[in-house]
Structure 1
């Protein structure tokens, strides 16, 4: 079928139903009536000769065909949107928009306060959703426009994903204030003789510090593996366990616990944090503005 005979608005409806899983919520998102959404869905079904969505209880569940075409459709719509807007001026004071920013929870405390201070001051009608996305899905989400930006460590991503380093950070060690062995300084022998906490969202595997220690033929004892640095800081304050973590976040998460913050007694690569975006929004005025706000938010910070 020739493209000239296809109503491109149907694909906006398709993405809305897929995203919301509901005709009702799709109609609310697009500010259309439910009969209009249902009519568009029927036309899509005829176009593809496939039901596309099947009702299961209160949800509209996508068919295999719908799942196979959702990303190409999202990317096509995103590319068209950028083409139409890339020459427009973006005025944050007047714009009404939500940006979606992917970042790890360890970066939220350092990035979000200065970022939101800037956004709320400049753009009263712009909202920000900070979300966590699986790293294997970053490329497709950025390409589809469901993510505007991502902030993460250095990742092996394809050339279509542009990047800029926004901050470098050091690694430090936390020990409780009245630790029986460690008071104000820490050498490598004492560090290796201690028991440790590893904070990681992964169920297994070594931390960055463990990889570096292994290069020296060393292996520390992990007494506790937990998911969040904040919880680990609290455990440190009540035990003799040590916690190794990024310095910037340590100074935030440790405020109420008053643990000692000490240099890591061995060389460690810096925690380099990068800002990522897709090449299809390189010249998009709104995305350029948001990128600048993120870069400025990280200035004079450590991770």
Structure 2
């Protein structure tokens, strides 16, 4: 009985942090501890359970089978505790000067930035949009470490460490310059595949947006150029006879500026679905709830919801 009373339950919190981050140093950063404190805690827990918990792999650690079993038992309870603790964090939007950080795709930033600024005009709060990192695991890690408060993207996480909500839906369209010599007023499938194409390559998926969202395998297309910026792609389309694919909302916003025609795609494509994604432990956090509400308001005001 005395051993049970003496057991430090904080060891479980440190263990779950190491398990999720696969790193002593990242767990230390998340918990605001030193790396040696985290290492000592894992050594103590290892001694208590009598099993090896992590093995070194490169610069990180990998859980053993015993650690996996332990985590599966602890994760639901620890998640509930983190949510309850987070829910007590006070937040008053009227007096706060907090800066929130949101990962969002280029198109989402362009569509929402101005409206978000209008929503916040009477507050001292700032919402800073950033394009997400190239590596998916890095995006997830930054959400877990709360280096960013939320992500707004087409990415839908599978891990129970995150919560998500679909907030926007858009569709793909094709754009061509207004003075195109062969395409005017309508676009057929033959016309589409006979032209050269500006390929918008999604950085994180290393795929073109068309290949990611179309319902069929597309025939080979003649490439005019490859772009990783939608604005650059539309600019190139305005100065050439090449075709480009963009989201409808984005194309409608900038077609007049760039002198472009906008066409429905001549083949079937999945809709573009945008999700808000946040750390599960912030589910009941007042500040994070407020942030989600403001983004949803901006989406509604833009007519994108």
TM-score, normalised via structure 1 length: 0.70
1:207 aligns with 2:228: no
Asked if the contact 1:171/1:268 (under 8 Å) is kept, the reply is: yes
1:172 aligns with 2:181: no
Asked if the contact 2:29/2:145 (under 8 Å) is kept, the reply is: no
Name the counterpart of 1:8. Answer: none
- Whole-angstrom CA distance in 2 between matches of 1:80 and 1:277: 17
- Whole-angstrom CA distance in 1 between matches of 2:263 and 2:140: 37
Name the counterpart of 1:153. Answer: 154
Q: Partner of 2:120: helix, strand, or coil?
A: helix
Aligned CA distance change for structure 1 residues 109 and 203 (closer, same or farther; 3 Å): closer
- Whole-angstrom CA distance in 2 between matches of 1:175 and 1:128: 34
Asked if the contact 1:196/1:222 (under 8 Å) is kept, the reply is: yes
Of residues 157-166 and 84-93 in structure 1, the stretch that sits farther from structure 2 once superposed is 84-93
1:130 aligns with 2:132: no
- Whole-angstrom CA distance in 2 between matches of 1:130 and 1:302: 18
Alignment of 1:217-228 (within 5 A): 218-228=219-229
- Whole-angstrom CA distance in 2 between matches of 1:212 and 1:79: 36
1:264 aligns with 2:230: no
Q: Partner of 1:110: helix, strand, or coil?
A: helix
Alignment of 1:245-256 (within 5 A): 245-256=246-257
Q: CA deviation at 1:139?
A: 2.2
Aligned CA distance change for structure 1 residues 89 and 211 (closer, same or farther; 3 Å): closer
Q: Partner of 1:254: helix, strand, or coil?
A: helix
- Whole-angstrom CA distance in 2 between matches of 1:133 and 1:165: 18
1:230 aligns with 2:231: yes
- Whole-angstrom CA distance in 1 between matches of 2:203 and 2:99: 30
Structure 1, unpaired ranges of 5+: 5-13, 20-40, 51-63, 70-77
Structure 2, unpaired ranges of 5+: 1-5, 10-24, 41-55, 62-78
Q: Partner of 2:258: helix, strand, or coil?
A: coil
Q: CA deviation at 1:289?
A: 0.6
Q: CA deviation at 1:280?
A: 0.4
Q: CA deviation at 1:68?
A: 5.7
TM-score, normalised via structure 2 length: 0.69
- Which string of whole-angstrom CA distances, capped at 9 and with x for unpartnered residues, describes residues 216-248 of structure 1? 562222221012111111111111000111111
- Whole-angstrom CA distance in 2 between matches of 1:219 and 1:137: 33
- Whole-angstrom CA distance in 2 between matches of 1:45 and 1:264: 53
Asked if the contact 1:161/1:277 (under 8 Å) is kept, the reply is: yes
Name the counterpart of 2:98. Answer: 97
- Whole-angstrom CA distance in 2 between matches of 1:173 and 1:253: 13
- Which string of whole-angstrom CA distances, capped at 9 and with x for unpartnered residues, describes residues 270-301 of structure 1? 11100001110111111001001111211253
- Whole-angstrom CA distance in 2 between matches of 1:45 and 1:270: 45
- Whole-angstrom CA distance in 1 between matches of 2:153 and 2:248: 16
Name the counterpart of 1:108. Answer: 109
Q: CA deviation at 1:211?
A: 5.2
Aligned CA distance change for structure 1 residues 183 and 271 (closer, same or farther; 3 Å): same
Q: CA deviation at 1:45?
A: 8.5
- Whole-angstrom CA distance in 1 between matches of 2:159 and 2:39: 35
Q: Partner of 2:121: helix, strand, or coil?
A: helix
Name the counterpart of 2:184. Answer: 183
Q: CA deviation at 1:156?
A: 3.9
Q: CA deviation at 1:168?
A: 0.6
Q: CA deviation at 1:116?
A: 2.1
Q: CA deviation at 1:201?
A: 4.6
